[in-house]
Structures are given as C-alpha cells and as structure tokens.
Amino acid sequence: MLRYDRRHFGSFIDDAHRQSLQPRVESAHRMLVDGTGAGSDMLGWRRLLLQDDDGVIGRVADTAARIRREADVLLCLGIGGSYLGARAVIDALSPYFGGEGPEVLFGGHHMSEAYHRQLLEHLRGRSVFVNVISKSGTTLETALAFRLVRDWMTEAFGDEAASRIIVTTGPEGGALNRLRDEQGYEKFVLPDDVGGRFSVLTPVGLLPVAVAGIDIRALVDGARQSARRLSEASNNAALDYAADRFLLHESGYVTEIMSVFEPRLRSFGFWWQQLFGESEGKDGMGLFPVTAQYSTDLHSIGQYVQDGQRKLIETFLMAGEEGSLAVPAASQDLDGLNYLAGRPMAEVNRVAYEGTAAAHLAGGVPNCTLWLDEISPESIGDAIYFFEHAVSVSGYLLDVNPFDQPGVEEYKREMYRLLGRA
Ligand code: PA5
C-alpha cells in the first residue's frame, strides 16, 4: 500500500491551519465520492473500478494474447491521455533491456516528420499490429500519423491490414468510428464519462500494457483496492497529500516537482504531470507540475532546486528495493570507493534520496515522499488511483472543475487557423 511521508512538509505547514482545513478537505472528498461536484458526469474512471465488472478486461486480454502470438511490434498511436498512461505503466513494469514479446512502440504523440519516417522504416519486414487510440477521433497528431500508418499497413499487408488494426475510441461519432465502420477494425470503447487523462485503466491503457506482457488484472486490482480504501475519509493519504499541497499553494508556492530515483518511474512522472497540469491548471490556479529523474537531473536542475527561486515544492516517488548488486572491493582503491564495498547499489541510491530530500529541505524546498512497497502491477495500480483521487479533491479545494481542459483548445484553434482548415 502506498505510504505518504509528510515529515518534510511539516515544518512549512502550520498544524492548526492544517487542522482547520480538514472539514473543507472532507467536503471536497464527499463531492468526489458522492458525485456532487463540478464535472461529476466524468467520474466513469471511479465507477468502472468500483463496479467490479471484468468483462472488458477479458476481451482486452484475449486481443492482447492474439497480438502477442502474431506480432513483432504493436504500434500505438495516441497523444496526451491516450498515450501517457500506457507508456507510464509499460516503462515502470518492463525490464530495462531485452524482454520478451512484441515491441510496443508509440507514434502520433507529436508531429515530427523524421520520427514517423524512421518509425515506418523500422517497421519494414516485421509483423505489425496497430492500436490507434483517440477518444474524440479528431486529434490532429494522432489522425495524421494514422493516415500515414494506414497507407503503410495496406502496402505491407494488403487485405490483411484491417485485421491488424484495433481502434480505441469514444462510443460513437468522430472519424475513427467512421473508418472503423467502413473497414471493420476491431474496436474498444472509451466511455463518454472517462476523460483521457483518467483513462489508463480502460482499454486505452490496458491493451498496450497487456501486449507488453504485464498482468492487467493485478494492475486493476491494485487500483480497485486503493479506490475502496480511499473512499473513506479517515486515514486517507490522498486527502492528506491534496491538503498539504493546497496549503503550500495558498502560501505562494507555484511549482511541484515529482522526482524519482528509479529511471523506470520517469514516465509515470510524465503521466502524473498531465493528470495534475490539466486538472488543476485553470482559472489562474494550480501548481505547475514538472518531473525530474535523479540522480541524473541533480547534475542539471539540481542547482536550481537547491538554490534558485524559492517557489518549489517536491514530491519524491520512491520504491523499496532489495539490493543484490554489491559494490566490489578493489585491491588498490584508486577511485577511493572502498568505503562503499559490499554495499548494494540500491542502498547507495536510497542514501542519495535521503541526502537529497534533507538538502532540499534545508534549502527551503518543502518535500514529501510517496512510497511504493515495490514496483509491481498492484503497486502501480494503487498509485494510479491514489493520484486520481488526490487530484480530484485538489481541484475541488481550488474551486476548479478537475475534469475539463478548456485551455488545450487554444493552441488547436490557432494551429488550425494557420493551417487553413475550413
Ligand atoms: O486528457 C485529455 O483529455 C487529453 O490529453 C486527451 O487525451 C488528448 O488531447 C487526446 O485526445 P483524444 O483521445 O480525443 O485524441
């Protein structure tokens, strides 16, 4: 179960102030749990978890098994909430090198010509399946990539191409549904009441994750247990995290860094970044979410975090790890590292975290730590629900609708105008 360590936040938050906020926090929690707050028609991500219906998981697992049998590559096309969740889970739970099963690749999450040209070259001669993911079915980045990939698939697989394309989209409407009706692609539905950034535990995320060989039932189960536990207001770490961040936001902090010491959690940070950025950042409110991977980034932004403008708070996402790769003793100790001999590298990494958290605290950066017992499907599912619950409550504390994203439309309007779309 995910643990919240707020000790380093403590010295920046007045206890009495925190206590007096509690009724407001619990009322924000009730708005979520009872579905009475702004955007309550977008709570499908909670509804699906709590209703215990595994029908769709079975279908996803069947399709994933077929792809795992027949494919060398699954190419996922999607952007934002239609991409970041799958990537976060796959990166967190896959080995760094090698691994078995089809390679899961991503496209349509930007419009780099070089990337997509090289991607198609990379696919030549391989057995490719495509999962195009777009709730609206109209997102330019994804639609553009899908047009290129569709042509490539027809060239490569002829009549068989359609049976290798799977569409994940809204129940009806949009270009993807039209194409699917015409071509007969297999389809998974993202229900209307689930927003993109809350969709990782629907087929949007589950199909790519299952193709990567990850146990999606365990993932969903971890989230489900978290959803049940966090439905109660007492002993609720998601509420504590939301409340502490809110008080720090109120006292003038503007940026929150999610820092990880395990590179495979980096993509989880990018998922978190979208979840919090799109949910909180409206009406002039919200902490600006950024992600860092330490100790790598201590050698780039570490100086700023330690010593730059004091407007930062930091959330460490850590996982317990038993170390087995011990530092070897060297007969001459020319590099001076013998004082570490026999200690596992994981322990050195953990001490680096402890030192960083203490130094940043001393430098004026309030920080907290969220602890996963280990990096497993269950614990990642737990963390996904934890953050979804926390950001919903946080949105209500900030008095914004945590489930819309009106600001995202602005760049699209300008881009379409410049591109001359009718
Ligand atoms: O969270 C969101 O709603 C967005 O990030 C969307 O997921 C993103 O814009 C992609 O939209 P769509 O799935 O409609 O292509």
Three-state secondary structure string covering 63-98: HHHHHHHHCCEEEEECCHHHCHHHHHHHHHHCCCCC
Tally of residues, the chain: 422
- Give residue 374's pLDDT band: very low, low, confident or very high (50, 70, 90): very high
Half-sphere exposure in the Cβ direction for 316 (13 Å, CA): 29
Q: What is the pLDDT of residues 168-181, one digit of tens each?
A: 999 998 899 999 99
- Token readout for 192 is 């209307």
Rounded distance between C-alpha atoms, residue 65 and residue 75, angstroms: 15
pTM over 0.85: yes
Q: Distance, CA 9 to ligand 1 centroid (Å)?
A: 33
Question: What pLDDT score was predicted for residue 269?
Answer: 98
- Percentage of the chain beyond pLDDT 70 is 100
Taking residues 373-395, report their average pLDDT: 98
Q: What is the pLDDT of residues 197-225, one digit of tens each?
A: 999 999 999 999 999 999 999 999 999 99
Q: What is the pLDDT of residues 57-111, one digit of tens each?
A: 999 999 999 999 999 999 999 999 999 999 999 999 999 999 899 999 999 999 9
Instruction: Decide whether any atom of ligand 1 lies within 6 Å of the 402 Cβ.
Output: no
Q: Output the average pLDDT for the chain.
A: 96
- Token readout for 12 is 């920046």
What are the φ and ψ backbone dihedral angles of 399, each rounded to 5 degrees?
65, 35
Residues 70 and 129 sit within 8 Å (Cβ to Cβ): yes
Residues 91 and 209 sit within 8 Å (Cβ to Cβ): no
Task: State the CB neighbour count (10 A cutoff) for residue 170.
Answer: 17
Task: Report CA-CA distances (Å) from 254 to 134, 180, 198, 284.
Answer: 32, 44, 24, 11
Which stretch of DSSP H or E encloses residue 260? strand 255-260
Taking residues 319-341, report their average pLDDT: 94
Question: What pLDDT score was predicted for residue 68?
Answer: 98
- Give residue 268's pLDDT band: very low, low, confident or very high (50, 70, 90): very high
Instruction: Decide whether any atom of ligand 1 lies within 6 Å of the 197 Cβ.
Output: yes
DSSP state of 171: S
Catalytic residue among 186, 262, 278, 314: 278
Q: Rounded to 5 degrees, what angle do the CA atoms 254, 289, 26 make?
A: 80
Q: What is the pLDDT of residues 141-175, one digit of tens each?
A: 999 999 999 999 999 999 999 999 999 999 998 89
Instruction: Decide whether any atom of ligand 1 lies within 6 Å of the 405 Cβ.
Output: yes
How much of the chain is in helix, strand and coil states, percent to nearest 5? 55, 15, 30
